[in-house]
């Protein structure tokens, strides 16, 4: 994706690790904006050589912007990609040069009178990459209560960590979009892990999970939360996230961010969120999917039982045609079972048809003595298709393979010059599926016509292809037998058709 910066066509001259540090900052800085109730802008100097301007004026680009969810924004517009000259940003320049936080005022461009500005240098190893500017207006600032004071103090401590190059943390991938935010609940811990502050939302979340004792002065352990989250985070000096089930019906997600100053862990910020509803929904979806797969598994088992019953019956019958008929019925049922077997392993109702092909080829090989000598080659693939297509197509393909194995070569196949082979070719151009089954055997009998045939196997094939799949089939002699199928692709769900 093209970033606004790339669109602006300006170059900051930053190398990839430096850019990743800024990306990590922007991935987690909504926390900072929420804690300071202010807009944050990230200014990065433009590379004077690459940006191509001849004037000797230094320029900054707005590299990132985030609005607080805990307060009103000063910037309705998106500023990312805007280029500003250095003399318009004296405090940003100062923070950049000194590497220390610079605080002051700035005339607002937005008609809010004077704006307050706190410019926090962003360090990455020995380099200052840019400046994170906190911008707020005293005229719309929140009235200060205890919570505001605690949040602003947390912001100051985190700002110093930004300046020291400790925040954002290395390899802190906040991948989950369920990551707790300030509004979900905040607890502050001291250097020994004791709770010194809990926001009202944090207290409510704890109440819901059955913890009603006073939090201040206590630890997570003493409250009954069995976790090493805090210990792990203090020991590694990295944020740690953990999900906890309290009683069976409440799930809390906790994220512990260690606060550090002068090389020591001085405490932690714990964000916590009640994710019970989210988890319940996840579980429901999971169960539904698992249930569908379980049903397919049972259908497959039942089909296998039916096919075994037919086999038992076949063994007790003397009459040869009856035995053959039962064997064929058994084989057809197994071709359907293959589809359910695959569906019982896949999520969703799409079947990778190529896997079915693999099974059917093995079934044909095992079907009669001597069939194993026939080389079967598979070319191309059909990809995934809906189960209601895969089932009839599976039966059709099993039938055609069986015919090739059974009729094309026969007992005299050793006498033919060429080695016996069957070629399966699959193609899936847009809108339809193509299947070609070709063998190099003796070819169809003289005068054969698929329209007129009354034998069961090909009648089934013809009917399934035409009525169930809405496709076409041709069978011709061509150095053996050539069967060509064309089946239209899955229909789009018709609107409001029931
Ligand atoms: N690949 C093939 N090569 C030669 N003959 C075939 C082939 N496929 C089908 N036939 C002929 O078509 C006839 C009808 O096939 P089918 O309807 O499947 O019935 P069955 O397999 O029970 O004989 C077969 O008996 C055979 O003579
Ligand atoms: Mg047949």
Q: Which residue has the tokens 């019953």?
A: 309
Cβ partners under 8 Å of residue 466, min gap 6: 472, 473
Rounded CA gap, 239 and 367, in Å? 61
Over range 340-364, report the average pLDDT: 89
State CA 320 to chain mean position distance.
Answer: 56
CA 151 → CA 132, 142, 144, 146, 157, distances in Å? 18, 12, 10, 9, 10
pLDDT on residue 54 = 54
Task: Indicate the DSSP class of residue 179.
Answer: -
pLDDT on residue 1 = 41
Which residue owns the Cα nearest ligand 1 atom 5?
444
pLDDT on residue 94 = 95
Q: What does the pLDDT look like over 66-96, one tens digit per residue?
A: 999 999 999 989 999 899 999 899 999 999 9
The number of the ligand 1 atom at minimal distance from the alpha carbon of 399 is 18
- Decide: residue 442, CB within 10 A, 0-12 exposed, 13-18 middle, 19+ buried: middle
**Most confident by average pLDDT, 55-64, 314-323, 340-349:** 314-323
Q: Is the CB of 444 under 6 A from ligand 1?
A: yes
Which residue owns the Cα nearest ligand 1 atom 10?
444
Output the CA 345–ligand 2 centroid distance in Å: 30
Percentage of the residues of the chain whose pLDDT score is greater than 90: 65
pLDDT on residue 496 = 39
Over range 188-215, report the average pLDDT: 93
pLDDT on residue 226 = 84
Output the CA 461–ligand 2 centroid distance in Å: 9
Output the CA 405–ligand 2 centroid distance in Å: 9
Residue 491 in this model has a pLDDT that exceeds 80: no
Which residue owns the Cα nearest ligand 1 atom 26?
407
pTM, rounded to two decimals = 0.60
- Place 469 in a pLDDT band, splitting at 50, 70 and 90: very high
pLDDT on residue 461 = 96
Rounded CA gap, 346 and 352, in Å? 9
Residue 111 in this model has a pLDDT that exceeds 80: no
The number of the ligand 1 atom at minimal distance from the alpha carbon of 483 is 1
Cβ partners under 8 Å of residue 496, min gap 6: none
Task: Indicate the DSSP class of residue 172.
Answer: -
State CA 391 to chain mean position distance.
Answer: 29
Over range 487-494, report the average pLDDT: 68
Which residue owns the Cα nearest ligand 1 atom 20?
457
Pairing, β 127-136 against β 472-477 = unpaired
Q: Is the CB of 489 under 6 A from ligand 1?
A: no
Q: Is the CB of 407 under 6 A from ligand 1?
A: yes
Pick the ligand that lies closest to the CA of residue 402: 2
Q: Is the CB of 333 under 6 A from ligand 1?
A: no
Residue 497 in this model has a pLDDT that exceeds 50: no
Query: Which superfamily is assigned to 182-274 in CATH?
Result: PAS domain (3.30.450.20)
Q: Is the CB of 445 under 6 A from ligand 1?
A: yes
The number of the ligand 1 atom at minimal distance from the alpha carbon of 404 is 1
DSSP string, 189-225: E-TTS-EEEE-HHHHHHHHHTT--S--TT--HHHHT-
Of 344, 336, 339, whose CA–CA distance to 307 is shortest? 336
Instruction: Judge contact between 479 and 440, C-beta under 8 A.
Output: yes
Probe target for ligand 1 pocket from 331, 400, 455, with the most ligand atoms within 8 Å of CB: 455
Query: Which is higher by pLDDT, 320 or 12?
Result: 320
Pairing, β 375-379 against β 421-427 = parallel
Output the CA 446–ligand 1 centroid distance in Å: 12
Probe target for ligand 1 pocket from 407, 411, 438, 475, with the most ligand atoms within 8 Å of CB: 407
Query: Which is higher by pLDDT, 491 or 126?
Result: 126
Interhelix angle for 387-403 vs 353-367, to 10°? 30
Output the CA 398–ligand 2 centroid distance in Å: 9
Over range 215-236, report the average pLDDT: 91
Output the CA 381–ligand 2 centroid distance in Å: 24
CATH 3.30.450.280 fits 4-163, yes or no: yes
Residue 439 in this model has a pLDDT that exceeds 50: yes
- Decide: residue 274, CB within 10 A, 0-12 exposed, 13-18 middle, 19+ buried: buried
Over range 375-391, report the average pLDDT: 92
Q: Would you kindly state where each structural domain of the chain is located, as residue ranges?
A: 4-163, 182-274, 276-348, 349-498
pLDDT on residue 175 = 55
| Coil, strand or helix at 413 | helix
Output the CA 132–ligand 2 centroid distance in Å: 76
Rounded CA gap, 215 and 196, in Å? 8
Same fold, 4-163 and 182-274: yes
- Domain 349-498 fold is Heat Shock Protein 90 (3.30.565)
Output the CA 458–ligand 2 centroid distance in Å: 6
Pick the ligand that lies closest to the CA of residue 438: 1
Looking at every residue in the chain, the average pLDDT score rounds to: 88
Output the CA 460–ligand 2 centroid distance in Å: 10
pLDDT on residue 417 = 65
Q: Is the CB of 150 under 6 A from ligand 1?
A: no
Output the CA 351–ligand 2 centroid distance in Å: 25
Which residue owns the Cα nearest ligand 1 atom 13?
455
Bond from prior residue into 177 cis (ω within 30 degrees of 0): no
- Place 173 in a pLDDT band, splitting at 50, 70 and 90: low
Pick the ligand that lies closest to the CA of residue 483: 1
Which sign does the torsion angle of CA 34, 36, 40, 44 carry? negative
Q: Is the CB of 458 under 6 A from ligand 1?
A: yes
pLDDT on residue 385 = 92
- Place 337 in a pLDDT band, splitting at 50, 70 and 90: very high
The number of the ligand 1 atom at minimal distance from the alpha carbon of 439 is 1
């Amino acid at each position: 994706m093209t970033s606004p910066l790339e669109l602006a066509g300006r170059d900051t001259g930053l190398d990839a690790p430096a850019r990743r540090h800024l990306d990590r900052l922007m991935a987690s800085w909504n926390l900072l904006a929420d804690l300071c109730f202010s807009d944050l802008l990230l200014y990065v100097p433009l590379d004077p050589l690459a940006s191509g301007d001849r004037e000797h004026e230094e320029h900054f680009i707005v590299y990132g912007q985030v609005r607080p969810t805990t307060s009103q924004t000063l910037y309705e517009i998106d500023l990312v990609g805007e280029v500003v000259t250095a003399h318009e940003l004296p405090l940003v320049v100062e923070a950049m040069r000194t590497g220390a936080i610079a605080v002051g005022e700035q005339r607002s461009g937005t008609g809010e009178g004077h704006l307050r500005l706190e410019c926090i240098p962003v360090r990455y190893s020995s380099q200052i990459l840019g400046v994170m500017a906190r911008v707020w207006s005293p005229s719309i600032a929140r009235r200060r209560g205890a919570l505001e004071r605690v949040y602003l103090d947390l912001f100051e401590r985190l700002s110093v960590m930004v300046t020291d190059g400790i925040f954002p943390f290395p390899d802190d991938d906040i991948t989950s979009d369920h990551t707790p935010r300030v509004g979900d609940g905040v607890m502050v811990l001291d250097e020994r892990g004791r709770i010194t502050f809990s926001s009202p939302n944090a207290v409510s979340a704890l109440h819901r999970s059955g913890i009603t004792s006073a939090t201040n002065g206590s630890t997570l352990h003493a409250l009954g939360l069995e976790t090493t989250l805090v210990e792990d985070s203090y020991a590694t000096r990295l944020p740690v996230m953990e999900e906890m089930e309290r009683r069976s019906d409440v799930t809390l997600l906790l994220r512990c961010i260690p606060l550090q100053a002068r090389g020591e862990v001085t405490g932690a910020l714990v964000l916590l969120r009640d994710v019970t509803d989210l988890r319940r929904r996840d579980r429901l979806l999971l169960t539904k999917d698992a249930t569908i797969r379980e049903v397919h598994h049972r259908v497959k088992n039942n089909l296998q039982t039916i096919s075994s019953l037919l086999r038992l019956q076949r063994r007790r019958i003397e009459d040869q045609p009856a035995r053959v008929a039962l064997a064929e019925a058994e084989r057809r049922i197994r071709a359907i079972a293959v589809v359910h077997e695959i569906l019982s392993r896949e999520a969703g109702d799409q079947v990778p048809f190529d896997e079915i092909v693999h099974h059917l080829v093995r079934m044909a090989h095992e079907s009669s003595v001597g069939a194993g000598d026939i080389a079967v080659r598979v070319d191309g693939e059909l990809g995934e298709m809906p189960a209601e297509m895969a089932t009839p197509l599976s039966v059709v393909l099993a039938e055609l393979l069986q015919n090739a194995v059974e009729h094309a070569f026969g007992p005299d196949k050793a006498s033919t010059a060429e080695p016996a082979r069957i070629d399966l070719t699959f193609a899936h151009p847009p809108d339809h599926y193509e299947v070609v089954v070709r063998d190099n055997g003796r070819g169809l009998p003289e005068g054969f016509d698929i329209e007129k045939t009354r034998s069961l196997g090909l009648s089934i094939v013809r009917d399934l292809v035409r009525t169930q799949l809405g496709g076409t089939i041709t069978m011709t002699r061509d150095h053996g037998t050539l069967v060509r199928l064309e089946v239209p692709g899955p229909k789009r769900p018709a609107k409001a058709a029931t």
